[in-house]
Amino acid sequence: MAIRRKDSFLWGKAPPLVTPTHRKQIEIIKIHTCDLLDDIQKLRLEINNVTTEIHNSKAEKQNKNDERNRRFLYGKKKFNMDPKKGIHYLIENKLLQWKAETVAEFLYKEDGLNKTAIGNFLGEREESHVEILKAFVDLHEFSDLNLVQALRQFLWRFRLPGEAQKIDRMMEAFAARYCDCNPGVFQSTDTCYILSFAIIMLNTSLHNPNVKDKPSLQRFVSMNKGINNGEDLPTELLTKLYDSIRNEPFKIPEDDGNDLTLTFFNPDREGWLRKMGGRVKTWKRRWFILTDSCLYYFEYTTDKDPIGIIPLENLSVRKLQDTSKPFCLELYNPKGQQIKACKTENKGRVVQGKHQSYKLSAASAEERDDWIDAIRTSITKDPFYDLVSLRKRKIISNTSSKA
C-alpha cells in the first residue's frame, strides 16, 4: 500500500497561515510592480514622443533642404536672365557669400549657368567684379600649357561678351595669369595679350565658312612680328600654335538656343519705335531690342519671340527727313543691295524680308540720336582688331622710348 503524505493538500490539510509580515511584503511588491508598470508606460510614451520628434526633425530638415534647393535653383535661373540680380538674390537668401573667391568658385563649378551670363558678369568694370574675375582666372591652372591649350581651357568656361571693354578686362586677366603660370615664355603680359587675340581671330578666319581668304602660316607669323617687346617670337612657337588651331578649332560652349529670352537679357538698347512696312507702307509701333549686332522687333514687350530680325552686318544708319513722321532714322545697305532680314508671317512661317531700307521713327530727336549712336556702335568692325591695335601701339611706344 502506498504511503500517504500527511501534509498533502489533497487530504484537506489547511495551508500555513500568511503572517502579517509576509502580507506586508506582498503589498510592497504589488505597489512596486504597479510603479514599474507605470514607469514602463511612461518610457513607452517618451520613446514614442522622441521618435516622433526625430521623424519631425528629419522631415523639417528635409523640407528646409528642399526649400533651399528650390531657392538656389531659382537664383541660378535668375542669374541666367540677369546675372547681377541673380547673384544679389543668392546672397540675400544666404545661399552665397559676397566674397570674390566664393562667387568665382560658384561661376567656375556650378552646373546649369548660362555661359553668356557668366561672361557678361565677369566683364563688368566695378572693382568687386574685377576682383571676382581675378579669382575666377586664378582657378585655372595653365602651367606647362602652350597658349592655345590654355585658351581652350579658359574659353570653355564662358562666352566672351560682345563689348570691347569687357573683352579687354577678361583677356588682360587671362594674360596675367598665363604669364604667372609660365614665367619666361613671353617678355610681357602685353605679348601674351596680343598673341591670344591673334589666335582667336585666326580660329575665326580658318573655320568660319564665310571667310574665303584663309590666312596662311606666313601671314600669321608676319602679323605677329615685333610683339615681344619689339622682338619676334620664335617661328617654331608660332607654327605650333597655328597648326593646333588649323587642326582643331576652339570648342565654344553653347547655351540653349531654343530660348531666345537669354539673347535679350542684357541688350545694348531697347524701346518703342514706329516702323514703316515693306510691302504695305504703313507705320506700326514695335518694341525694338538691339543686341549682338542684330535689331529684333516685337509686337509687345511681353512677347518671347520676335516678329522680325535685322542683322546689322554691312548696314549703315542715318537721319532721315520724312514728311509723314518726325524724328526718323534709316537703316540701309551702302551698296544699294536688299537687306538680308527675316520676319514671321501670321501663320508662323519665317520668310525673308524685302526691304531696300528700314525706316524707323522715334518719339523725340534725342531718342532718335541715341538709337543712331547705339546702332553705329553695334555695327562697327570687330572690337578684337581695335584692342590689338591699341596694345601694339603701346608696345611700339615703349620700345621707341627705351631706344
Active site residues: 163
* CA-closest candidate to residue 103, choices 85, 128, 78: 128
Q: What φ, ψ does residue 358 adopt, rounded to 5°?
A: -115, 125
Cβ of 213: how many Cβ atoms within 10 Å? 7
- State the Cα–Cα distance between residues 103 and 125, nearest whole angstrom: 16
Cβ atoms of 274 and 320 closer than 8 Å: no
Look at residue 361 and give its three-state secondary structure. Answer: strand
| Burial label, 31 (beta-carbon count in 10 A; 0-12, 13-18, 19+) | exposed
The answer to whether 342 and 351 are in contact (CB under 8 A) is: yes
Q: Pairing between strand 342-344 and 328-332? A: unpaired
Nearest Cα residue to 254 out of 114, 147, 394, 154: 114
The residue whose grid cell reads 537669354 is 262
**Closest Cα to residue 155, out of 87, 251, 86?**
251
Evaluate whether 179 touches 186 at the Cβ level (below 8 Å): yes
Instruction: Give dist(CA 224, CA 194) in Å, integer.
Output: 8
Sign of CA dihedral 361, 367, 372, 377: negative
